[in-house]
């Protein structure tokens, strides 16, 4: 252990701990704009400078390990003056557009400027007139607001292994841009939004479509309905000052009705439908030997995009089941519309999602129009929903609890854990076990595939046969799983896994690119705990036991994997290599 002093406070930390992290342990905040808890230090911003007694220069706390006997000063007149000057230099290359910026009130640069009492209007600005990149329809790059911290590039290259973003040029001309200086849509970008989740400013934000939804809500000719993704219920509270993991399901139902939606559905319901289809698909492959193993989940649009671009040799392994978002959209405009006598052409389906890639998914292929119309009209992120609730004047946290529409709203515990890494696999195993054996799985909580380890493995014995499963989250972790499968395939050996779950974002949807800002592993754990508690609180914990799902198949779909289910609930994939050999 390393023993030292920070601002005269004794501190003892493991060897290799940075001064920045050591200071946090004794409740000393050293300001920084480039260091994020998810990422390695780059010392890019220069704001975290501190002084070591006896040293002849200021050192950067984010990348300097604390050593035995150090006596660190984090704040004195010179240090504060240097930090202030550095901030003023950064602000001189930053537009004064706080009031119209999507990060207003949640911007780390804005917050630091306030902490240092820097009068924004006094800063002389030297900002290049660079137009934003809106090419993906999901994410917007506001180049003028970039402070060159490098977080987005680290995330894109190291955490996600996508390599869509990079630094271009040198010296004072250095800038962040899609690799090769092309548009983001032309790059390998998979629209996961982790760049926006980690950006300290408004340089990378989601494509805000709240104005379009407001117009629809005020249109008397439209019947606006809404669905809420599993993870949103345990994250939206953060935008209103509540701790991560606080479950606001019933408040969301009430708030969305107050906004003007005629029906409120829960994507947990269609997650149950997804499991019924996906588990049936697995049984077809594993038990009846019809199709390739391993079966790979496909409910994450960033992952399917990544697969089509980089791992298209696994297309035949992909589940053809649509994501819960798309399943609920098509069921709303067919099953629900028919039951209530609503013209589907007048229905306007909005989804509230943790994910920027969901904006891309809703027009990904022609199967996303299976109802004869666009199945989901608009996808909003959790952040966009929070803005709408605040704009509406609704005292959201004071609302009496509401309820979802039962037809597409009742859900099982298996549906709600979709929002956490490992949750889709756990839900699928619960139902696949029943389909294979006719018995209920006794131990429903699969601890081996829970948690934040990048790759998790487990085995479930079904009818005497072991099912080997793997779970990966964060796209950089996918490679080792797929490489093991390729290696076995090329050697003619049995596949190491029968079932694989992949989520693009670390932690799964609870860490999605459209969730409230400030994500790190501490928040991921709390958000995940909220979903697992919701699962435990549910009277039904198996997707196939959901009475409304059973009724849906009896009245409308027929049987899982049947003709109508295939027409409405399944999709296809196409190889789309970014770099053709």
List active site positions: 278, 281, 299, 319, 358, 361, 366, 509
Give the span between the Cα atoms of 576 and 573, in whole angstroms.
Answer: 9
Give residues with Cβ within 8 angstroms of 188, minimum separation 6: 162, 163, 164, 179, 309, 310, 578
Residue with the two structure tokens 């989901």: 376
Give the span between the Cα atoms of 427 and 282, in whole angstroms.
Answer: 13
Give the span between the Cα atoms of 243 and 296, in whole angstroms.
Answer: 34
Residue with the two structure tokens 């022609």: 366
Give the span between the Cα atoms of 138 and 356, in whole angstroms.
Answer: 6
Give the span between the Cα atoms of 157 and 151, in whole angstroms.
Answer: 10
Residue with the two structure tokens 């992290």: 21
Give the span between the Cα atoms of 118 and 125, in whole angstroms.
Answer: 14
The reply to whether omega before 294 is within 30° of 0 (cis) is yes
E strands within 333-415?
A: 347-353, 378-381
Give the span between the Cα atoms of 360 and 137, in whole angstroms.
Answer: 7
Residue 366 vs residues 45, 200, 210, 302, 326: alpha-carbon distances, Å = 45, 37, 25, 18, 12
Cβ atoms of 338 and 539 within 8 Å: the answer is: no
Cβ atoms of 449 and 471 within 8 Å: the answer is: yes
Is 39 exposed, middle or buried (CB count within 10 Å of its CB: 0-12, 13-18, 19+)? middle
């Amino acid at each position: 252990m390393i023993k030292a002093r920070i601002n005269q406070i004794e501190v003892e930390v493991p060897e290799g701990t940075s001064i920045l992290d050591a200071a946090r342990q004794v409740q000393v905040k050293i300001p920084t704009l480039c260091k994020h808890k998810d990422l390695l230090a780059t010392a890019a911003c220069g704001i975290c400078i501190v002084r070591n007694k006896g040293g002849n220069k200021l050192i950067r706390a984010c990348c300097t390990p604390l050593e035995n006997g150090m006596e660190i000063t984090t704040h004195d007149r010179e240090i504060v003056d240097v930090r202030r000057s550095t901030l003023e230099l950064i602000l001189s290359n930053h537009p004064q557009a706080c009031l119209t910026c999507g990060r207003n009130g949640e911007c780390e640069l804005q917050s630091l400027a306030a902490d240092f009492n820097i009068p924004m209007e006094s800063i002389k600005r030297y900002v290049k007139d660079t137009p934003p990149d809106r090419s993906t329809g999901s994410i917007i790059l506001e180049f003028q607001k970039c402070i060159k911290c490098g977080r987005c590039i680290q995330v894109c290259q190291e955490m996600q292994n996508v390599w869509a973003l990079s630094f271009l040029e040198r010296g004072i001309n250095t800038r962040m841009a899609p690799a090769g200086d092309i548009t983001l849509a032309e790059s390998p970008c998979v629209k996961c939004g982790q760049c926006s989740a980690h950006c300290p400013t408004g340089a990378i934000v989601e494509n805000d479509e709240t104005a379009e939804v407001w117009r629809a809500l005020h249109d008397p000719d439209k019947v606006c309905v809404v669905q809420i993704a599993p993870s949103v219920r345990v994250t939206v509270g953060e935008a209103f000052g509540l701790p991560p993991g606080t479950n606001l399901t019933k408040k969301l139902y009430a708030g969305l009705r107050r906004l003007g939606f005629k029906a409120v559905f829960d994507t947990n319901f269609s997650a149950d439908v997804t499991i019924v289809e996906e588990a049936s698909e697995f049984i077809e492959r594993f038990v009846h030997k019809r199709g390739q193993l391993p079966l790979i989940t496909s409910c994450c649009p960033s992952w399917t995009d990544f697969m089509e671009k980089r791992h298209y040799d696994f297309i035949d392994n992909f589940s053809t089941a649509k994501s819960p978002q798309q399943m609920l959209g098509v069921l709303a405009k067919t099953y629900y519309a028919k039951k209530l006598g609503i013209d589907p052409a007048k229905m306007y389906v909005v989804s509230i999602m943790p994910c920027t890639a969901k904006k891309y998914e809703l027009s990904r292929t022609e199967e996303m129009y299976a109802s004869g119309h666009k199945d989901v009209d608009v996808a909003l992120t959790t952040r966009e929903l929070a803005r709408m609730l605040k704009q509406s004047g609704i005292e959201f946290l004071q609302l009496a609890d509401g309820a979802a529409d039962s037809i597409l709203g009742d859900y099982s515990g298996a549906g709600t854990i979709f929002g956490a890494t490992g949750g889709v696999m756990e839900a699928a195993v619960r139902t696949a076990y029943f389909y294979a054996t006719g018995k209920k799985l006794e131990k429903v909580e699969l601890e081996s595939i829970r948690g934040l380890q990048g790759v998790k493995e487990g085995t479930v014995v079904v009818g005497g046969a072991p099912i080997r499963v793997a779970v990966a989250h964060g796209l950089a972790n996918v490679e080792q799983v797929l490489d093991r499968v390729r290696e076995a395939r090329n050697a003619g050996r049995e596949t190491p896994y029968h079932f694989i779950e992949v989520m693009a974002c670390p932690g799964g949807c609870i860490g999605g690119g459209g969730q409230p800002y400030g994500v790190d592993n501490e928040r991921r754990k709390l958000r995940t705990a909220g979903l697992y508690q919701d699962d435990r609180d549910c009277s039904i914990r198996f997707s196939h036991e959901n009475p409304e799902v059973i009724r849906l198949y009896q009245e409308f779909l027929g049987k899982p994997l049947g003709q109508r289910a295939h027409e409405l609930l399944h999709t296809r994939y196409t190889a789309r290599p970014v770099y053709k050999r």
